[in-house]
Amino acid sequence: MSLPAFKYLRPDSLEEAIFLLGSHPGEIMIMAGGTDLLVSLKQKLFQTARVLDVKAVSELRGLEFTETDGLKVGAATRLSDLAADKLVQTRYTGVAEAAQSVGAAAHRSMGTLGGNVCLNNRCWYFNQSPTWRTTFGSCYRLGGESCLVAKGTARCRAAYCGDTAPSLLVMGAQVKIGGPTGFRTVPLDELYTGDGKASIRLAPGELVVEITVPIPEVGVGTAYRKYRLRDSIDFPLAGAACAIGLDDEGTCTHARIALTAVGSRPERCPQAEDVLAGRKLTAGVISEAVEAARSQARPLRTTVMPPPYRRTMVALMVRNAIRAAASRCESGWEEYPS
């Protein structure tokens, strides 16, 4: 498999990047580390006349922290840099854990936060060579009548499989988006459409510029837990992020839970969060929240590990993330039996 021909554009500044994007709306794809896009282009998953490489755009790289605005991470900041940052490790532990768990070392040192947040949704039918795909005919995403993995569904059920999004969602992250008409900032949650076919809500000519993560609420602990078969490399088969705040009595004052890999978007688990809020985190209460999260998960069939097993892993990852986050709370935490 070879890369198709395309025009390669490598702007030096954000202004130039936005100009180039705006000049060819819909006929240009954005590349940062290339760890996902280049593979997809080889597999002819997308056709594009141009690739805009934003690696050289200095405004998109680096991270900055202030006690007023919190953490700002340029979209083209390498995941390895994010994971290795001491401040991120201390104040945004779950984000550092998520960045550290992406792919293999080579992916992390090329791949970027923006790229991982905007990772294309995946499924075992779509992410194949063109020769392979023609054996089955076109799936919904490729213009066919229905999904070929979840047979009979007239929508694309491909799953978001990035690790970082859930860890950012539980922190209330926002994304700064740049485009021909200027900049806008939206909650990260709104970046995702939930439609596997067009999963990222960006208008033609727009790009993600920065991810901002507010100052964590005082005393909150965070964690990300990922289930995969090989620690060396693998997308999550289940992933859960959690942020927990506890008061001095041990009552949960803040609870955020989000999942990845088990739906068409990374998503919060409001019911599970509600279970925890205002209660002491006993084993029983945690189990109740875990159940709520599990019932929300919709794992699509993959080539390994059947969906029922993966639901069990969702539950386990949620449980582990809650425990890890709670134990990182400033007030300290010990699990009480129900």
| List of residues contacting other proteins (CB under 8 A) | 1-2, 4, 104, 124, 128-129, 131-132, 134-136, 227, 229-235, 303-306, 309, 312-313, 316
Shortest reach from residue 129's CB to other proteins, in Å: 5
For residue 135, the SS3 value is: helix
Nearer to other proteins, 67 or 231 (CB): 231
Which structure tokens are listed for 113?
Answer: 């936060």
Nearer to other proteins, 10 or 42 (CB): 42
Shortest reach from residue 2's CB to other proteins, in Å: 5
Shortest reach from residue 306's CB to other proteins, in Å: 6
**Dihedral (Cα; 228, 256, 105, 75), 10-degree rounding:** 140
Shortest reach from residue 124's CB to other proteins, in Å: 5
Which structure tokens are listed for 125?
Answer: 């039918």
Nearer to other proteins, 164 or 320 (CB): 320
Shortest reach from residue 305's CB to other proteins, in Å: 6
Shortest reach from residue 315's CB to other proteins, in Å: 8
Nearer to other proteins, 182 or 308 (CB): 308
Nearer to other proteins, 89 or 128 (CB): 128
The amino acid present at 107, given as its one-letter code, is H
Shortest reach from residue 198's CB to other proteins, in Å: 23
Q: What's phi and psi for 75, nearest 5 deg?
A: -60, -30
Residue length, the chain? 338
Q: Identify whether the C-beta of residue 198 lies closer than 8 Å to the C-beta of residue 267.
A: no
User: How far is 270 from 255, CA to CA, in rounded Å?
Assistant: 9
Shortest reach from residue 309's CB to other proteins, in Å: 4
Of 254, 215, 270, which is closest to residue 70 (Cα–Cα)? 215
Nearer to other proteins, 36 or 81 (CB): 36
Nearer to other proteins, 65 or 124 (CB): 124
For residue 45, the SS3 value is: coil
Nearer to other proteins, 2 or 90 (CB): 2
Q: Identify whether the C-beta of residue 256 lies closer than 8 Å to the C-beta of residue 310.
A: no
User: How far is 58 from 60, CA to CA, in rounded Å?
Assistant: 5
Shortest reach from residue 225's CB to other proteins, in Å: 11
Q: Which residues contact 202 (CB under 8 A, 6 or more apart)?
A: 118, 177, 191, 208
User: How far is 163 from 140, CA to CA, in rounded Å?
Assistant: 25
Q: Identify whether the C-beta of residue 46 lies closer than 8 Å to the C-beta of residue 29.
A: yes
Nearer to other proteins, 136 or 183 (CB): 136
Q: Three-class SS string for 216-280?
A: CCCCCEEEEEEECCCCCCCCCCEEEEEEEEECCCCEEEEEEEEEECCCCCCEECHHHHHHHCCCE
